[in-house]
Amino acid sequence: MSDDNSDDLTGNLDTPPAAPDELPAYLVDAIERQGPDRLRLVSNYALSLAGWKERQTEQEVSEQAEQEPDDVPDEWDEDDWEEVKEEAIDKAEIAPTKGTITTKTISGNDYYYLQWREGDKVRSQYIAPVSPSKNS
């Protein structure tokens, strides 16, 4: 599948292009019933919507960012923090310079997570509780 918006003029006219396997059948069926003009409208809308969703996700991650990855939280000893942070980076299998530290509240408790972008998805890796006394 090409990333540009040009038509595939070299394809076989006897069979339509194959839909990506990742698309659900109900969506493929609905798209295949549309004419060329409406398909172009759907294409433009889908690209605009994808861009908007990516920007929304980036904004959410930046709003959640509580500190720079190199900053040591007030509640933590520097050596202990570096150890749990390095373990999270190793588990995430990302570069040490990639990612943002965020805080998530789960069942009334606050936890640090490392978040980074992989393509159009935001990934998370648990680091530790905000309070080191809850660190197990």
d(CA 64, CA 102): 5
Domain of residue 49 covers: 25-63
The residue among 46, 63, 80 that closes a domain is: 63
105 and 87 fall within a common domain = yes
107 domain-assigned? yes
Which CA distances in Å does 60 have to 4, 10, 88, 116?
A: 28, 42, 21, 12
The number of domains in the chain is 2
57 and 74 fall within a common domain = no
59 and 96 fall within a common domain = no
3 domain-assigned? no
What string of pLDDT tens digits covers the 136 residues of the chain?
Answer: 444 444 555 668 888 899 999 999 999 999 999 999 999 999 999 999 988 888 887 777 666 554 455 577 878 888 998 899 889 989 998 888 788 888 889 998 999 999 988 888 889 999 999 987 754 4
* Residue that is written with structure tokens 């069942």 in the block: 107
* Residue that is written with structure tokens 């998370």 in the block: 124
Q: Which helix (H) or strand (E) holds 83?
A: helix 78-92
81 and 100 fall within a common domain = yes
d(CA 101, CA 67): 6
